[in-house]
Amino acid sequence: MESASCSGQELLTWRRQQLLRGGRAVDLDWLLAMEANLSWAELQRLRILPESIAPLASTLQDLEKLWAVHLQDHVPLQHLVGRCPWRDLDLRISPAALIPRQETELLIDFALDCLQDPSATGWASAGRWADLGTGSGALAVALARALPGWDGHAVDLSAAALELARINLNALTTSLRWQLHQGSWWDPLECWWGQFDLVVANPPYIPTQVVDELDPLVRDHEPRQALCGGEDGLDCCRAILGLAPQALSPGGWLLLEHHHDQSDQVLGLMSSAGLVSSRARSDLSGVRRFAIARRHL
């Protein structure tokens, strides 16, 4: 069998050659970390000690093939390696679902913050959460791990996305208290309406016209159903908010991720729906990308 490891010098030369073909250094180093198990720290060590061995879990030839497909066909690296780190998780990824984004990690922190509210209802031991539009199951996995005594529900319209979510939930949680439901937003959860204490959703929110102008990496490889939010991008937010006052428990929280310029509109929709305590939250760049509100107590 071909040995994967090589000298540091060989690796550094190879890396320079790949970058001359195109692409970003940060992405190539991500590929080295995810596919060849070569950490950023190890790469720095090899720069100082190029004569030492570069411990690679994958051959340079195989890495080169993946890099070429990424450059030529604009295939996301996450699809090529089938995995994606997200929060403290190593998620399985496929073209069936959106690649979970870094900013969405914050939705979990904001959700757990809501439960620290002094008027939150008995959350420490038990409750019911839902993840509407679960995709890969990233948010559902994080909630199931953070709230092991709660019952959880992950919903998606796409059967293929739900299959991926099932793989991630099975692999990354020990809880057996989650269920998957195929259907539209609250519809498959009707028998629990009025009982949801915490609901998160990162719905498709990109206006149709903008979807067509996205980078081919996104537009041609991520499910359109995960991206397109209708003419103004807010169709899914409206659908979710329309039934939220019935579906949430008294005092129950709803957290939505939205597009960079939709904060005022989503907060307005929350108030029109009759939810209270609405507030915006920002991503790590300071952009208001999240809206939070609750059903009155």
Ligand X SMILES: C[S@@+](CC[C@H](N)C(=O)[O-])C[C@H]1O[C@@H](n2cnc3c(N)ncnc32)[C@H](O)[C@@H]1O
How many angstroms separate the CA atoms of 191 and 207, rounded? 32
Residue 81: other Cβ atoms inside 10 A: 17
Terminal alpha carbon distance of the chain = 65
Nearer to ligand X, 38 or 226 (CB): 226
Q: State yes or no: residue 241 binds ligand X (CB under 6 A).
A: no
3-state secondary structure of 7: strand
Tokens of 103: 């900013």
Q: From 2-10, 68-76, 108-116, 151-159, give the range in contact with ligand X by CB under 6 A.
A: 151-159
Nearer to ligand X, 15 or 79 (CB): 79
How many angstroms separate the CA atoms of 158 and 168, rounded? 16
Q: Cα dist. 110→199, 253, 254 in Å?
A: 11, 11, 10
Residue 76: other Cβ atoms inside 10 A: 19
Q: From 34-42, 93-101, 108-116, 173-181, give the range in contact with ligand X by CB under 6 A.
A: 93-101
Contact assessment for residue 274 and residue 293, using Cβ atoms and an 8 Å cutoff: no
Q: State yes or no: residue 97 binds ligand X (CB under 6 A).
A: yes
Q: Which of residues 183-212 bind ligand X (CB under 6 A)?
A: 184-185, 202-204
Nearer to ligand X, 11 or 98 (CB): 98
Q: From 3-11, 119-127, 157-165, 270-278, give the range in contact with ligand X by CB under 6 A.
A: 157-165
Nearer to ligand X, 60 or 273 (CB): 273
Q: State yes or no: residue 104 binds ligand X (CB under 6 A).
A: yes
Supply the minimum distance, in Å, between the C-beta of residue 218 and ligand X.
11
In sequence order, what are the beta bridge partners of 293?
254
**By CB under 6 A, how many residues form the interface with ligand X?**
23
Q: Which of residues 130-149 bind ligand X (CB under 6 A)?
A: 133-136, 138-139
Supply the minimum distance, in Å, between the C-beta of residue 52 and ligand X.
39
Supply the minimum distance, in Å, between the C-beta of residue 263 and ligand X.
17
In sequence order, what are the beta bridge partners of 125?
none
Q: State yes or no: residue 5 binds ligand X (CB under 6 A).
A: no
Q: Phi-psi category of 156—alpha, beta or left, where left has phi over 0 and alpha has psi -120 to 50?
A: beta
Q: State yes or no: residue 161 binds ligand X (CB under 6 A).
A: yes
Closest CA to 195 of 250, 256, 270: 250
Q: Which residues contribute to the site for ligand X (CB under 6 A)? A: 97-98, 100, 104, 133-136, 138-139, 155-158, 161, 184-185, 202-204, 225-226, 236
